[in-house]
Every structure is written in structure tokens, then in C-alpha cells.
Structure 1
Amino acid sequence: MAVHNSHPVIKHQTATELYVRHSEWLKNRLAKRYGADEADEVSQETWLRMVPHPLLEDIDHPKAWLLTIASNVARNMGLKRGVRQKYAMQALVERHEQASQLTEVLAQQLLLGLPVPLRDVFVLSRIVGLSNAQIAEQLGISPKTVEGRMTKALAHCAAQLRR
């Protein structure tokens, strides 16, 4: 009975010999699994991890052995990236919250700095969403007065922001 093994047992092979024999195969396999950029990084780290073994004896399936090392490397790299991404995301969320709080404080200061007639028109227009005609009706003023007050309110806010 003939045993057909596509990966013969290679006795007494060095890390360099193993690299020469299987590096292209490993890179191609990793590229399919993780993408070309990740494959380079995983492949390099895989070879670094196996190099300390000066004589690689009794490796029955060198490709499987290399792929196991590469899978562990990729998993470890993924875990590291996951942790970095988690902290980066937390930092982004914190910055966003700080920016939102700052924006809210700034908006409150701008609104409170407006004279009451301008503030009323601004709030009804920009925050409540009423049209100039609706604001005019609600405040008992003409639509032309609403336009004038809105223009003054925006100019006042712009001036405050330029300070």
C-alpha cells in the first residue's frame, strides 16, 4: 500500500531551508486569508518566531506547522489591534463628548448674549423651525422686522465668534 503524501517529511532542515521552500506559498495563503498588507506583516513575524529553532527536526507537515504559527501571529496581532482600536474609539468618543459640551456651552453663551427681541426671532427660526411669516404672526411684528432682527442676530453671533 503506497502512502501518497504531497508534503514529504523533511528531516534536519534549517529555518533558512524551510523559508526558501515555503515562503511564497505562505505569503499567498496569508494574502487570501488576511489581505496583502496583513500577509506581509504576518509572514515576517511568522519567520521571526521560527528562526530561533536552528534545526527543525521531525516536522512531518511543515506547511501546516507554518500555517499554525501564522494563525497564532495573526490572532495575536488582531487582539493587539482590537485593544488599540477600543482605546482609540474611547478617546474619540470622549473628544466628541467634550466638543459637544463645548459647543453647547458656546451656543448657550451666544444665545444669552443676544438682546431679547433678537433672541426670540433666532430661537423661533433656527431652533423651533418656524418661517418668517409664522414668527411675525406669533410675535405680532411684520415679516420685514423678523428679517431685520434675524440679520442682526446672526451678525451679533458672528461678531462674538470672531473675538
Structure 2
Amino acid sequence: MSAFEQYYVEVLRFLTRKLRDHDSAQDLTQETFSRALTLPPGGDVASPRGLLYQIARNLLIDRYRSSKRQSHENLEDIDESCIVAPGSWQPEAQAESSQHAARLVAIIEALPPRCRQAFVLHRIDGLSQSEVAKQMGISTNMVEKHIIRAMVACREGSASGQDSKG
């Protein structure tokens, strides 16, 4: 079975979750495999799956940067006097968001290693629980327990951060 047959649906699901647009995800999935096929021959690829995910992530980043550039170019046509920053752009909201993100990162880093690995693979990398179980060599039930434990820790950490604000 080729890497295409083995990972196409998986990469497509990953990109669909990230983009929330199936058509765009199909385009980026095709581009991912196209770029993988154009890599110079002779390079040993230890993990074809890892390579495909890295290419897909890079394409997501390129797409994000491109959309930011386009939105900045469009802003040049707008009269600056009518621009009011939304609340999320205000310094206080940005600082609060940064503090919340830092708390979550600290909570995730403090998790036991296997719990953290399962949580990151599922919630950050977008793998299904069965895919995480297969990759980690544990049962799906154990993956679910790890994810629940991590989610509870994140919620408790977020709630205690909210309580300490005011």
C-alpha cells in the first residue's frame, strides 16, 4: 500500500479540521502529496506520515501568512479614521489571552508524559483516539482516560486562573 493510499484520508481529515472547509482541505491535501512526490530522490524518509504532516502544516502556515498579507493590502484602501479595533485586539484582551495560553501550556507541560503525549496527539495534532492508541501502543480506553485527565487539568487550571483575577 502506497503512502498516498495509506495517509490520504488521514491528512484530508487533519486539514479539514484545521481549515473547517472541505474543498480547501482537499486542495491542500493534493498539494501536500504533490510536494512530497517532488522531493529529491535518494533522501531516506524515516516517517512518510511525519513528512506528510510536516508538509501539510507548512502549507497551512503559508496559507495563513498569505491571507494575512492579503488582508493587510485590503486595509490600505480603508479610511483609517473609521477603524476601531475589536475587543480582542485591545492590549488588555491580548495580555489576558497570552496569560491564559501560558497557563494552559504550563498545565499541559506538568501532565505525566504519556498523558501529555496522548493529549497533544489528539487535541493538537488532530489524531483520532484510535490513531493515538495505535501510535502509542495502548488501548483506546487508556487514550480516552489520558485525554479526560488532561482536559480536567486544563479546565481546573483555567478556572483557578479566572478566580485569581478578580
State the TM-score bracket (shorter-chain normalisation): 0.3 to 0.5
Give the TM-score of the pair, scaled to structure 1.
Answer: 0.42
